[in-house]
């Protein structure tokens, strides 16, 4: 298992800079008052392709050696990684094959195709998608860029907290949602090397709390096909993300479906930004646990903004 | 009639700076490609109280002489000015009376009350609201801060394009929605004095096109109670805004209800920001008239983000 280093992060940041946005950090005096904390929202919903995942995907695509370019890249993803890899592959002019559950939001399927990605649909479970993926890879010979269990991807995601730290004057805590653990692992990789005084928390839906149970049990627990409105967070930890999570994460806190939806709606209403359910989980957790966050300077990673605007969770 | 000057604008900017945000300017490569223009969105949806109107309202409230403070301020407004005046009055610790149509979005009524504003509801027509307002003013003796036909308000709104010009490296056009004309008048006041080479366009709903008809006729035409999804733009020009519009606006272009809703949805989906229907009218007009905007550097004033999230126009 190849563990990425802080030098990989610095190289990734230079490599991807021409292809990504340095996204803004927003604050909200209303949410500060409500939470008792000082919150700094790193807005990766404004990122290219609408999500932080473009950082890792672009790092993987642009570090591909020339002899692998023709066969392109392939992945399986519940959405944003598919979009991001298609975007990055398009920027480099190489093919991108994507295995995606047929239940993924139509907006995400349309966007993958608009970036030139080639979709193969599967049943909405981790096992089904891995089986379909093996088939696609055998057919195409494309380089596998896993959504998170890949050192190139984690080094790319680490550039997000690198920017966040340079955009704020010191933080006590950084919190991000956890699904497979790519963003959290990148955050661990960067902060452990450059700002070890910052505590790292992860936020997870109660109904897909396999990472929280893993951390408390001391080994990876993987659930097949959990159900949650936070559709980016259904996937399990893998060995590389477990490496970082088990070593550097202070705690993983959970929120209920209703708490997630309320925090999402609150963010739209008060901050006037469109965010996905997945990235409302940290705010839900912050509001639920003032004993952890109140009085602290907290960096909150808003991971993405790709929502099906015809199906909002509070109007269902 | 007292005409505000550029010195009033500069004084207003200093006066209101502690109470407002210097809002960011966002760009979208996707919308640039779609429009053929280079678009710079001045995001007043991120402003205090969720709209640019806080600039003019704050300037009026904080320039009130001491002997008028006790009786406070009063206004009639379809929403954002009410919110903004309540916010500003709260910051100065004085009462704020608001006459508002009972059809105004619940979210706006709730927000006015949360800022401490005292609401009196009326029928949703210009004449009904003016009659009710006269009653309230007679009862309270509060200082009338008109939503737009007030030199203090126009000088305050002018600070928006002042910031926009300092945040961009030269513009060919600035475009904003037009209802009563407060933002457009402030834009005229500022740009005529500081950047007369920039053309000023206004954007209006076809179904509430009284300002466009006024400009083409050469005198104010006022409609009573027009119907449009852009609920901030139903009010007519008044003498002070007509002064600026008639002298400095190049043209007023219109968009249909469907074009406005499509542009609003496109902004949410692509820019990941929550904007009101009113401020989607400029983008609708830009996409409809490439012969005017393509190839140009265009500043677009996103006027506000106060939307009833339970009633989105594309899910009705």
CB contact under 8 A, B315 and A310: yes
What's the total number of domains in chain A?
Answer: 2
CA B13 to chain centre: 17
What pLDDT was estimated at residue A225? 73
Q: In which band, very low, low, confident or very high, does the pLDDT at B78 lie, cut at 50, 70 and 90?
A: low
Long-range contacts formed by A214-223: CB under 8 A, 24+ apart: A214/A242, A214/A245, A215/A245, A215/A246, A215/A249, A215/A251, A215/A252, A218/A246, A222/A126
Interval A164-183: pLDDT, tens: 999 999 999 999 999 999 99
Token couple for A32: 């500060």
Residue that is written with structure tokens 């209101």 in the block: B16
Q: Using CA coordinates, name the residue in chain B closest to A316.
A: B310
Residues of A with CB under 8 A from a CB of B: 24, 26, 45-46, 50, 107, 265, 268-269, 271-275, 305, 309-310, 312, 314-315
| Same domain membership, residue B219 and residue B134 | no
Which of B282, B215, B279 lies closest to B249, judged by CA? B215
Residue that is written with structure tokens 């916010």 in the block: B87
- Please state, in angstroms and rounded to a whole number, the distance separating the CA atoms of residues B266 and B260: 10
**Domain stops at, among B76, B109, B144:** B144
Residues of B in contact with A50 (CB under 8 A): 272
Residues of A in contact with B54 (CB under 8 A): none
**Domain stops at, among B94, B126, B144:** B144
Residues of B in contact with A45 (CB under 8 A): 272
| Same domain membership, residue A303 and residue A235 | yes
| Same domain membership, residue A137 and residue A69 | yes
Distance from CA of A120 to the nearest CA of B (A): 24
Residues of B in contact with A32 (CB under 8 A): none
**B77 belongs to a structural domain:** yes
Which of B107, B272, B314 is facing A50, going by the closest CB pair?
B272
Q: Please state whether beta strands A173-177 and A199-205 pair in parallel, antiparallel, or not at all (unpaired).
A: parallel
CB contact under 8 A, A268 and B309: yes
| Same domain membership, residue A170 and residue A131 | no
Which of B235, B273, B243 lies closest to B146, judged by CA? B235
What pLDDT was estimated at residue B97? 97
Which of A265, A274, A315 is facing B273, going by the closest CB pair?
A274
What pLDDT was estimated at residue A1? 86
**B94 belongs to a structural domain:** yes
How deeply is B96 buried, as exposed, middle or buried, from its count of CB atoms within 10 A (0-12, 13-18, 19+)? buried
Residues of B in contact with A305 (CB under 8 A): 272
Backbone φ/ψ region at B229: left (φ over 0), alpha (ψ -120 to 50), beta = alpha
Residues of B in contact with A271 (CB under 8 A): 46
Task: Tell me the average pLDDT of chain B.
Answer: 95
| Same domain membership, residue A160 and residue A287 | yes
**B268 belongs to a structural domain:** yes
- Please state, in angstroms and rounded to a whole number, the distance separating the CA atoms of residues A7 and B228: 56
- Please state, in angstroms and rounded to a whole number, the distance separating the CA atoms of residues B104 and B99: 11
**A1 belongs to a structural domain:** no
Residues of A in contact with B269 (CB under 8 A): 107, 274, 309
**B149 belongs to a structural domain:** no
**B137 belongs to a structural domain:** yes
Which of A45, A310, A312 is facing B272, going by the closest CB pair?
A45
CB contact under 8 A, A268 and B50: no
| Same domain membership, residue A280 and residue A175 | yes
Is the pLDDT at A78 greater than 70, yes or no? Answer: no
Q: In which band, very low, low, confident or very high, does the pLDDT at A303 lie, cut at 50, 70 and 90?
A: very high
Q: Using CA coordinates, name the residue in chain A closest to B51.
A: A272
Which of B55, B136, B137, B46 lies closest to B88, judged by CA? B55
| Same domain membership, residue B305 and residue B200 | yes
Residues of A in contact with B309 (CB under 8 A): 265, 268-269, 312, 314
**Domain stops at, among B144, B167, B190:** B144
| Same domain membership, residue B21 and residue B166 | yes
Q: Using CA coordinates, name the residue in chain B closest to A107.
A: B269
| Same domain membership, residue A169 and residue A120 | no
What pLDDT was estimated at residue B232? 86
Distance from CA of A79 to the nearest CA of B (A): 15
| Same domain membership, residue A255 and residue A274 | yes
CB contact under 8 A, A269 and B24: no
Q: Where residue B166 sits, what CATH number does that domain have? A: 3.40.50.1100
- Please state, in angstroms and rounded to a whole number, the distance separating the CA atoms of residues A76 and A90: 17
Token couple for B206: 């076809």
Is the pLDDT at B166 greater than 90, yes or no? Answer: yes
Arithmetic mean of pLDDT, B26-32: 95
- In chain B, the largest separation of any two C-alpha atoms, in whole Å, equals 55
| Inter-chain Cβ pairs, chain A and chain B, closer than 8 A | 47
Phi, psi of B9 (to 5 degrees): -65, -45
Which of A185, A183, A153, A189 lies closest to A60, judged by CA? A153
How deeply is B290 buried, as exposed, middle or buried, from its count of CB atoms within 10 A (0-12, 13-18, 19+)? middle
| Same domain membership, residue A139 and residue A123 | yes
CB contact under 8 A, A272 and B274: yes
B19 DSSP 8-state letter? G
Q: In which band, very low, low, confident or very high, does the pLDDT at A190 lie, cut at 50, 70 and 90?
A: very high
Interval B229-273: pLDDT, tens: 998 898 899 999 999 999 999 999 999 999 999 999 999 999 999
Owning domain of residue B90:
54-144
- Please state, in angstroms and rounded to a whole number, the distance separating the CA atoms of residues A260 and B156: 38
| Same domain membership, residue B197 and residue B91 | no
Q: In which band, very low, low, confident or very high, does the pLDDT at B200 lie, cut at 50, 70 and 90?
A: very high
Task: Tell me the average pLDDT of chain A.
Answer: 95
ipTM: 0.91
């Amino acid at each position: 298992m190849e563990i990425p280093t802080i030098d990989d992060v610095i190289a990734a940041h230079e490599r991807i800079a021409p292809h990504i946005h340095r996204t803004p950090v927003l604050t909200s005096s209303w949410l500060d008052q409500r939470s008792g904390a000082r919150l700094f929202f790193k807005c990766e919903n404004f990122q290219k392709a609408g999500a932080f995942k473009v950082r890792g995907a672009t790092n993987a695509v642009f570090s591909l050696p020339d002899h692998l370019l023709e066969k392109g890249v392939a992945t399986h993803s519940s959405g944003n990684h598919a979009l991001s890899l298609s975007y990055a592959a398009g920027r480099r002019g190489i093919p991108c094959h994507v295995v995606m559950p047929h239940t993924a939001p139509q907006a995400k399927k349309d966007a993958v195709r608009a970036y030139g990605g080639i979709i193969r649909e599967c049943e909405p479970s981790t096992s089904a998608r891995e089986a379909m993926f093996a088939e696609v890879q055998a057919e195409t010979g494309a380089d596998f860029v896993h959504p998170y269990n890949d050192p190139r991807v984690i080094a790319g995601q680490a550039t997000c907290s690198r920017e966040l730290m340079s955009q704020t004057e010191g933080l006590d805590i950084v919190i991000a949602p956890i699904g497979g653990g790519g963003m959290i692992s990148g955050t661990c990789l960067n902060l452990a090397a450059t700002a070890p005084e910052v505590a790292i928390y992860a936020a997870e839906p109660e109904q897909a709390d396999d990472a929280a149970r893993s951390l408390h049990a001391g080994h990876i627990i993987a659930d097949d096909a959990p159900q949650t409105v936070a559709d980016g967070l259904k996937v399990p930890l893998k060995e590389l993300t477990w490496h970082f999570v088990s070593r550097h994460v202070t705690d993983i806190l959970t929120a209920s479906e209703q708490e997630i939806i309320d925090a999402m709606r609150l963010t739209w209403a008060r901050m006037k930004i469109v965010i996905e359910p997945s990235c409302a989980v940290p705010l839900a957790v912050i509001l639920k646990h003032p004993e952890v966050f109140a009085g602290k300077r907290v960096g909150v990673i808003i991971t993405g903004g790709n929502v099906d605007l015809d199906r909002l969770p509070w109007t269902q």
